[in-house]
Amino acid sequence: MRSSVVKVFATVLVLAAAVMPGTADAAARPAGSEPVYDFGSAIRETVWVDTGRDGDGDGRSDRVAADLVRPREAAEQGIRVPVIMDASPYYSCCGRGGEKERKTYDGSGRPVGFPLHYDNYFVPRGYAVVLVDLAGTNRSRGCVDVGGQSDIGSAKAVVDWLNGRATGYSAATGGSAVTAGWTTGNVGMIGKSYDGTIANGVAATGVAGLKTIVPIAAISSWYDYYRSDGAVAGGGSPAGLAQTVAAGNQGQNCSAANRKLSQGFPANGDYSAAWAERDYVAAAKNVKASVFATHGINDLNVKSINFGQWWSALASTGVDRKLWLSQTGHVDPFDFRRAEWVRALHQWFDHYLLGIDNGVERTPRVSVERQPDVWVDQTAWPAAGSRNVVLRPVAGGTAGLGTLTSGRAVAGKATFTDNPRQSETTWAAQPTQPSASRVLYTTGVLAQDLHLSGTGTVTATVTPSTATARISAVLVDYGQSTIRNYGGPGEGIRTGTAEDCWGASTTGDDACYRIATADTVNVGLHIFSRGWADLANHQSLSRETQLVPGRPYTITFRLASTDKVVPKGHQLALIIGGTDAGFVSPPAQAPRLTVDLANTYVTLPIDGPAPVAGAAQPLPATPSQVVPDLSASLERG
């Protein structure tokens, strides 16, 4: 162990009075790092790290700007400190956090304002905080490539510099070499949305020195942000996002890089080499860092499939993992569970970056928000008792309506016509009425709670009337309940005017933030999982085939990862439709689709017995529901 690390532990031991109860060595075990360093006198500087790439084609290796703040007293005493790092493209274009904070600088270009509370809270506790401008953004050179080698490489280069494997400079061009002898080299990456995505991507390189990541509402595969099992997600493109985040850069010429982005992704939903480059799930085997992930089950921006497949892929790596699942949309836990989040982060970083034995790795692995502000712990996700259960649609007395049962397959047909102007909210609104644009099957009233925990799939055998076709499926909880208003402007939170403070403040770097509370709504239905596919990709995700009208095709596609209890007395429904407006783009011609019910089923991850229907009870004719704001996008991450 380095002598500098021993000094950190000694400082903590002297200043941390509280200890963990109930252990034989409690008197010798520090509870956690304490705010012993003066934030006002902290060292603030920018180092430009050489990435070894020339993305903007100017003949010089790109340098990325790493703005950092670290305790001055630690440097003067020769105490090396670990690093909390947030690499982002948003520090000038869009801002970070609920208050859209941007980096600020003094007249000499010295960093003053660091967005978010990480520096205010952790620097006094013996950490450095490093905020990295991704290549091609803010004060960094190079070009954005939306999750590709430039983005990931620019953040990885800073981890390498912190561990003595890359060169840093005192200026964007020229300048003198700068080393990072003040750090232990232990790095924890954190960030929401695009930032957390970069943390996932850097971890997937297996870079030495990255000890932990905290991805918040993060992408694990960019294909699953812009596409879905062959279907093209509605709105946005990698090239458009690159232009948005590069708006505040230093004016470098990225026309060639932008052309590559525009041309590198198929216009259809085929999985290509460009998507594979941005698929961190496929590289999860390389991850060595521990992972503390958090995601909103109702996130309609970065869909929950992104946490589900990433978490599951990490299971085989053996790394320590922790997961929070909220009822919110695309929201940071600092805004829905603030005190608990800061405390959890503090313990997590203390353990994985300072090496303090505080027992955090032995706390419950998974926490799930069951009702607004009501959390339960689980030992695993999917839940330990979760298993795949097949439920089959069976035709009823009314065309397009029927039951969803765990019994045997029953012959039957159901037909609907794709209406690209309708969405899942329209499909679900009148469950007792037949519809020309969807079919609906329900379990009937549940005799006991039904816990779904994991990632489900739909297998559908469908005959289209045209050569192109989309197919969508949604799971609906019918019954009165109070949930977070994830479709509202705050995606499940309401931000007030009162503030609370998390750490020390200085002029230009405030530690105080507006307090958010749960924004709730009473509903009669909750669409809690959905999935979309292009029938042309029934054989291969990498290559679509033209459909022959009148011929049946079988396709299996994924539903959004979830952890949801459908309560006793409610009903679970499966709805199958065509184009889910706002979520996926429509086909060239709207087809008439005939579903072969005997060869169509949904496979659900159920913790407990299969659903058992109670006494017959009609659904409400038009139950109230959340109407999601489909303008949500990563650009406002």
Among 285, 310, 150, residue whose Cα is nearest residue 217: 310
With a cut of 70, say whether residue 24 has pLDDT above it.
Answer: no
- Helices first, then strands: H and E counts in the chain: 12, 31
- Stretch 383-393: mean pLDDT, rounded? 97
With a cut of 50, say whether residue 13 has pLDDT above it.
Answer: no
Higher confidence at residue 588 or residue 28? 588
Higher confidence at residue 126 or residue 7? 126
- DSSP-derived pairing of the beta strands 470-484 and 177-178: unpaired
Which residue is catalytic, options 117, 330, 351, 538? Answer: 330
Task: Give pLDDT, residue 609.
Answer: 92
With a cut of 60, say whether residue 634 has pLDDT above it.
Answer: no
- The pTM of this model reads 0.94
Task: Give pLDDT, residue 614.
Answer: 62
Identity of the amino acid at 165: R
Which residue is catalytic, options 133, 229, 299, 607? Answer: 299
Q: pLDDT-based confidence at 418, cuts 50/70/90?
A: very high
With a cut of 80, say whether residue 17 has pLDDT above it.
Answer: no
> Does the annotation count 330 as an active-site position?
yes
Q: pLDDT-based confidence at 23, cuts 50/70/90?
A: very low
Task: Give pLDDT, residue 394.
Answer: 96
Which residue is catalytic, options 92, 140, 193, 423? Answer: 193
Name the DSSP class of 134. Answer: P
Among 571, 557, 536, 562, residue whose Cα is nearest residue 602: 557
With a cut of 80, say whether residue 412 has pLDDT above it.
Answer: yes
Above pLDDT 90, what percent of the chain? 89
Above pLDDT 70, what percent of the chain? 93
- How many residues are there in the chain? 637
With a cut of 70, say whether residue 615 has pLDDT above it.
Answer: no
Confirm if 591 and 417 have CB atoms less than 8 A apart.
yes
- Taking only the tens place, the pLDDT of each residue in 226-280 is 999 999 997 789 999 999 999 777 888 899 999 999 999 999 999 999 999 999 9
> Does the annotation count 299 as an active-site position?
yes
With a cut of 70, say whether residue 144 has pLDDT above it.
Answer: yes
For residue 319, what are its two tokens?
């790394």
- Taking only the tens place, the pLDDT of each residue in 149-191 is 999 999 999 999 999 999 999 999 999 999 999 999 999 999 9
Task: Give pLDDT, residue 619.
Answer: 79
- Stretch 14-28: mean pLDDT, rounded? 34
Q: Report the distance separating Cα 61 and Cα 51, nearest Å.
A: 7
Q: pLDDT-based confidence at 26, cuts 50/70/90?
A: very low
Q: Report the distance separating Cα 63 and Cα 48, nearest Å.
A: 5
Domains and CATH numbers, the chain: 3-378 (3.40.50.1820), 386-625 (2.60.120.260)
Task: Give pLDDT, residue 305.
Answer: 98
Task: Give pLDDT, residue 10.
Answer: 40
Long-range contact set of residues 401-405: C-beta below 8 Å, sequence gap at least 24: 401/432, 401/434, 401/439, 401/440, 401/441, 402/439, 402/440, 402/441, 402/442, 402/597, 403/441, 403/442, 403/443, 403/444, 403/613, 404/441, 404/442, 404/443, 404/572, 404/573, 404/574, 404/602, 404/611, 405/443
